[in-house]
Amino acid sequence: MAAITMRNVVKQYGDGFPAVNDINLDIADGEFVILVGPSGCGKSTLLRMIVGLEDITSGDLFIGDTRVNEKAPRDRNLAMVFQNYALYPHLTVFENIAFPLRLQKLDDAEIERRVHGAAELLELVEHLGRKPANLSGGQRQRVAMGRAIVRQAQAFLFDEPLSNLDAKLRGQMRTEIARLQKRLGITTVYVTHDQVEAMTLGDRVAVLRKGILQQVASPRELYREPVNLFVAGFIGSPPMNFIPAVVSAGELNTPFGAMRLPDSRSPELDGKDIVLLGARPESFDDAAIVSDAVRDHGVTFEANIDVIEWLGNEQYAYVPYEAPDDIRDQLADLERELDSEALRTQLVVGLDTASQIAENSTASLWLDLRQVHVFDPVSGFNMTARDVNVDESAGATAV
C-alpha cells in the first residue's frame, strides 16, 4: 500500500488540447479519493495516467516515494476495475481472478487459496467454474473486483465501476465497495460521474472541470462550501438554485423580493451590480410550518407553485420565474456543462412532508438566509466561501 502523489500533472493530446491540466493532488496511504466531474472532464484520463495506460505529458507522478512516470503498468502494481469490467471472455471466473497471480507465477496451492479467499469475500464461490458471458451484471462486477483484490496491490483504481448496473444493484455494490475498502484499508482512487457515489464513498472528493481541478474536499465541505458555481451546481440533488439578484443599498433584489443577508453571509459587494444567490432546496420551507425560533433568520415571500413532487420522505415544489436573458443564458450554459438541460428558470424548493401546499397555488415560502451563497456571475467564485475548513457545527442548527 502506498500514497499517490501528483505534481503539476498535464496530459496533452496530439492536437494540443490539454485533457488534464496542472493537477496537484496528494492521496494519503489508505485514503479513499473520488475523482468526479461531468463527462469529458478528464477524470478517466487522470486515472489511466495513474495506472500507466496513458502517458504523462509533463509533471510527476509518485506512488509511495517512487516516481513512476515512465514505468509500464505492470511495474506499478496497481489493481484496476474497468467500467465494462474487462473480463477475459475465454477464461472461467476462477481463471479470471487468478490471472494476475498466474502472471506472477505463484504456485497452484497459493493461487487456489487466494482466489477462494476472494471468491468467498465476494460470494462468487459457486460461480468459479463459469464463463463471464453466463454471469449477471452484478456477478461480473464482483469478478472484476475479485481480480483486483487477489493482487495485494499498492492501490485500487476504479473507473466508473457501477455505471453499468441498475439502480438497486448499484446501491448494494456501493456499500460493498465501501465495506471492502474499509476492511482492506487500501489506497483507492475512484472515478465516477455519479454524485451519490462521490458523496457516500470518498474520504475526499476531487471535482474536475475541463481537465482542471476545482476543489478537493470532504463531501461535507464540498456540499456546504463549494468554491464556485460549477461545484455548487454539480454537487447536490436536486441541484442548488441560482437566483439572479440586483445589488442595491446593501440589499439583494431578487424576483422574489428584496433580501438582506445576515452578516455571516455578507461578502463585499462593492462594484457588483448583479450577483447570483445560491440556495439549496432544503434551505427553503413552507412558511406556515417554520418554527418561530428560526423564522427571523430567513425571509418570507409569496410564490406561484405549479408542480409538487411528494417522495414520501421529502417533498419538492417547483416555482417557475422569469429571469433576465443574459442570466438565463449563463445558467443554461452551466447546466449544459453539468450534463443536464434546463428548459426553464425555476426554483426547486424542499418542503417539509407535513406541508399542505397544493399544486397551482400561491403559497408563502421561507428561505433560510444563513445557508445561502453569493456567487460572482462573471468569475463564478463563491464570495461567501470561507478559505479555512468549515466548522462542522455552523450550519447544523438550521431549520
Partner 1 sequence: MSITETSRPGTAGSAPAPRRMSERARAERRLGWWLAAPAFVVMLLVTAYPIAQAVYESLFKYRLTDPDAREFTWLTNYWVILTDGVWWRAVGVTVLITAITVAVEAVLGFALALVMHRALRVLRPLLRTAILIPYAIITVVSAFAWLYAFDINTGFATSWLSWVPGITEDTNVFGSFGSAVAVIILSEIWKTTPFISLLLLAGLAQIPNDLLEAAKVDGATWWQRLYKVTIPNMKAAIMVALLFRTLDAFRIFDNVFIMTQGAQGTEVVSFLAYRQTISRLEIGLGSAVSVLLFLSVVLISVAYIKLFRINLASARGEA
Partner 2 sequence: MDERTTLRQKALWWIAGAAVLIYALFPVAWIVSLSFKSAADLGNRQFLPADAVLDNYEMILVGDAQTLFLSALRNSIGIAVIATFLAVLLSTFCAYAIARLEFPGKKVILTTALAVAIFPVISIVTPLFNLWRHIGLYDTWPGVIIPYLSLTLPISIWTLSAFFRQIPWELEQAAQVDGATTWQAFRRVIVPLATPGVFTTAIISFFIAWNDFVYGISLTSTEAARPVPAALAFFTGASQFEDPAGAIAAAAVIVTIPVVVLVLLFQRRIVSGLTQGAVKG
Binding site for partner 2 (CB under 8 A): 51-53, 72-74, 77-80, 82, 84, 86, 88-90, 99-100, 103-104, 147, 151
Q: Is 89 in the site for partner 1 (CB under 8 A)?
A: no
Smallest gap from Cβ 53 to partner 1, in A, equals 7
Task: Please identify, using beta-carbon distances, which residue of 90 and 260 lies nearer to partner 2.
Answer: 90
Please select the residue that binds partner 1; options are 8, 24, 53, 304, rule is CB under 8 A. Answer: 53
**Alpha helices (runs of H) in 245-316, residue ranges in sequence order:** 292-295
Is the bond into 238 cis (omega within 30 degrees of 0)? yes
Distance CA 180, CA 189 (A): 14
Q: Is 358 in the site for partner 1 (CB under 8 A)?
A: no
Task: Please identify, using beta-carbon distances, which residue of 63 and 232 lies nearer to partner 2.
Answer: 63
Please select the residue that binds partner 1; options are 13, 24, 110, 304, rule is CB under 8 A. Answer: 13
Q: Is 60 in the site for partner 1 (CB under 8 A)?
A: no
List the beta strands (DSSP E) in 144-297. 155-159, 187-192, 204-209, 212-217, 241-248, 251-254, 257-259, 274-279, 284-286
Cβ(200)–Cβ(178) under 8 Å? Answer: yes
> What cell does 391 get?
466548522
Neighbours of 355 (CB within 10 A): 20
Q: Is 14 in the site for partner 1 (CB under 8 A)?
A: yes
Cα 385 from chain centroid? 19
Q: Is 58 in the site for partner 1 (CB under 8 A)?
A: no
Smallest gap from Cβ 106 to partner 2, in A, equals 11
Give the one entry of partner 2, partner 1, none that residue 93 binds, where binding means its C-beta sits below a cut-off of 5 to 8 angstroms depending on kind: none
Residue type present at position 265: R
Smallest gap from Cβ 10 to partner 1, in A, equals 13
Give the one entry of partner 2, partner 1, none that residue 147 binds, where binding means its C-beta sits below a cut-off of 5 to 8 angstroms depending on kind: partner 2
Smallest gap from Cβ 32 to partner 2, in A, equals 19
Distance CA 208, CA 200 (A): 18
Smallest gap from Cβ 57 to partner 1, in A, equals 8
Please select the residue that binds partner 1; options are 8, 55, 123, 166, rule is CB under 8 A. Answer: 55
Distance CA 181, CA 219 (A): 17
Cβ(73)–Cβ(53) under 8 Å? Answer: yes
Task: Please identify, using beta-carbon distances, which residue of 78 and 334 lies nearer to partner 2.
Answer: 78
Cβ(198)–Cβ(36) under 8 Å? Answer: yes
β-pairing, 187-192 vs 155-159, is parallel
**In the complex, which residues of this chain contact partner 1 (CB under 8 A)?**
13-14, 53, 55
